[in-house]
Structures are given as structure tokens and as C-alpha cells.
Structure 1
Amino acid sequence: MPVPAFVLELRRSVGHDPLFLTGVTAVVLRDDAGPTPSVLYGRRSDNGLWALPSGIVEPGEQPATTVVREVEEELSVVVEPERLALVTSDPPITYPNGDVCRFVSLTFRCRWVSGEAALGDDETLEVAWRPADDPPADLDVLQRRRLAVALTEGSACVFDR
């Protein structure tokens, strides 16, 4: 995944020390494909695993704008965020180059508006709609939680304490 320019600039000052960044994840639902809604996934080019669309909030950007931008850039689909479903502080990630990040993650439940799922950039190897009750087998535990919370019908945002 390409590193945003603002993160590269921060790294010049902090080296590999932990950065706290805001990330967004989209649980994109499409209801027109059958009795069960479908969820949009992309297979990541950096690790080959299936994942929900996600990205980093750029300076000055609203998180809901980020989620719309990331889904369109990566998977060629236009979405409308319906609600903020989950707020978490994720465990630290150490990248192969030694950089450490910890994300405050905002998961949005989104509605498909238009577009056919397709590769939008080099961050994704493959895209697929899957029934909401049948996520990819290699979806990690954090992503499964995001999915489960976003699929609930409640309107309140879930957060950890």
C-alpha cells in the first residue's frame, strides 16, 4: 500500500516510533442482488488476504469523505455512508520496514449507490460481492467484528471502554 505523503513527512521527524492515525473501514451493503444483502470485499495486494475496504484519513478530510473516496479509488464503487457503526483503537501494527502505527478505526455502514465492483488501483488484486452471512474464510478477527457490528440494525455506534 502506498504511504500517504503526510505520513512520510511525519516519519522524517519520528522515525519508526509509533504514529497514531485515524483509519476508516467501509461495510458496503447492496440489497438488489437477492434475499440476503451482499457485502463488498477486496483482496489486498500487500498480503493477499480478503478485507473490507479501508484507508487513512488525510489531514483536513472528514472521515465520511475518506470512506467514500477509498471505496471508489480501490473498488470503483460509489457509496453513501449510512451511519458510524464502530469506533476502536486497534492493536499496534509493525510494518516490514520497522514503522509502527496504531489506528483509531472508524467503521461505517455504507449503502451501494452505483458502479460495478472492479479493480481501481494497485492496492487490490481482486474484488467480490459476497452474501452478508458468508464472509471470506481469511477475514481477520478485527474485520469480522467490524462486519458483525455494521450488520446489526441498531443505530447507535459501538465503542470499546
Structure 2
Amino acid sequence: MFPTVSAVVLNDRGEILLGQRSDNGQWSLPAGLMDPGEQPAEAIVREVLEETAVQIKVERLAGVALHEVTYPNGDHCQMLNTWFRCRAVGGEARVNDSESIAVGWFAMDGLPELSPFAHRRIRTALEDGAPAWFAQPGETP
């Protein structure tokens, strides 16, 4: 089990920041593993900057859930993901490390194919005034 963070980053046009992963070619929200001793909000600020060169401000906690991931090499992991609604405050979106092959801003009506878990995180982050989402016993994200 790994502690992870992810972000629904919005710009001033209401677009969402996504990256196309280099390991499987799928589009996803900026995300990553927390470093030892790092707070979740600190981790997502670092991860978004490392992956996309975009500086963000964390606006609120949007949710937390355990989800399973199987990597192309067959490794199977459980990720405890904490996700945040964030606002872009600087930088220019671009590929900034080897984890992505493309980075870009997408309008809600023009999103590429995303996992159901990514859609869950986007929906919960965009609900203004809503409390943080969490899976009920027996529910999957």
C-alpha cells in the first residue's frame, strides 16, 4: 500500500490540467507518491510542478479513497489517494519529467478518455461547497 496524492488543477478558463502517462499512454490527473515526512498538500504542489511545470495553490481537500492499480509489468498495488482541488497560479504547462509524454489543459466537454476513478475525482473536486468525498464501507471509488 502506498500513500499517493492527485490534483484537479483548474486554470482561469475553467480547464483541467492532464498528463499523458509515459508508462501506459493513458491520460490522467497529475499525481504521485508522497515522500517520507511530507504532508499531502505539500506533496501535490511538488508533484504538479515536477510533472507539468505548473505552480498551484491548493484550494481544498476533495476526497480520499483506496484504489487498486495494476501496472503494465504486472505489479499490483493498493494506493491510498488523497486528492485536492487546486488553482494554477504560475508556470506554463509542459512535459517536465519522464513520467509524461504530453501535458495540456482540457475543457470539460473535451476531455480525453479517462479512468472512472479520474472522473470521480474530477466530479468531487468541482462540487463547490461539498465536503470531501470518501468511500463508504464496501464502496469502490
Aligned residue identity for 1:100:
H
Which residue does 1:160 correspond to in 2? 135
2:82 is the alignment partner of 1:106: yes
**Equivalent residues of 1:83, 1:155 under 8 A apart:** no
Aligned residue identity for 2:103:
V
- Structure 1 stretches of 4+ with a deviation exceeding 6 A read none
Q: Deviations over 1:63-95 (max 9, x none)?
A: 10110001000000000111110111112x233
Distance 2:109 2:4 in 1: 25
Which residue does 1:118 correspond to in 2? 94
The DSSP-based 3-state class of the residue aligned with 2:111 is coil
2:90 is the alignment partner of 1:128: no
The DSSP-based 3-state class of the residue aligned with 2:129 is coil
Q: Deviations over 1:88-111 (max 9, x none)?
A: 1112x2334453310111110001
Return the match for 1:95 from 60, 66, 71: 71
Which residue does 1:140 correspond to in 2? 115
**Equivalent residues of 1:25, 1:54 under 8 A apart:** yes
Which residue does 2:124 correspond to in 1? 149
Distance 2:37 2:76 in 1: 23
Distance 2:129 2:101 in 1: 33
Unmatched tracts of structure 2, length 5 or more: 137-141
Question: What does residue range 9-158 of structure 1 map to in structure 2 within 5 Å?
Answer: 20-31=1-12, 33=13, 37-91=14-68, 93-136=69-112, 138-158=113-133
Unmatched tracts of structure 1, length 5 or more: 1-19
**Deviation of the 1:58 alpha carbon:** 1.1
Identity of aligned residues (%): 46
Q: Deviations over 1:32-78 (max 9, x none)?
A: x3xxx111011110011111100011111111011000100000000
**Deviation of the 1:158 alpha carbon:** 1.0
Greater strand proportion:
2
Aligned residue identity for 2:131:
A
Distance 1:133 1:62 in 2: 33
**Greater radius of gyration (CA):** 1
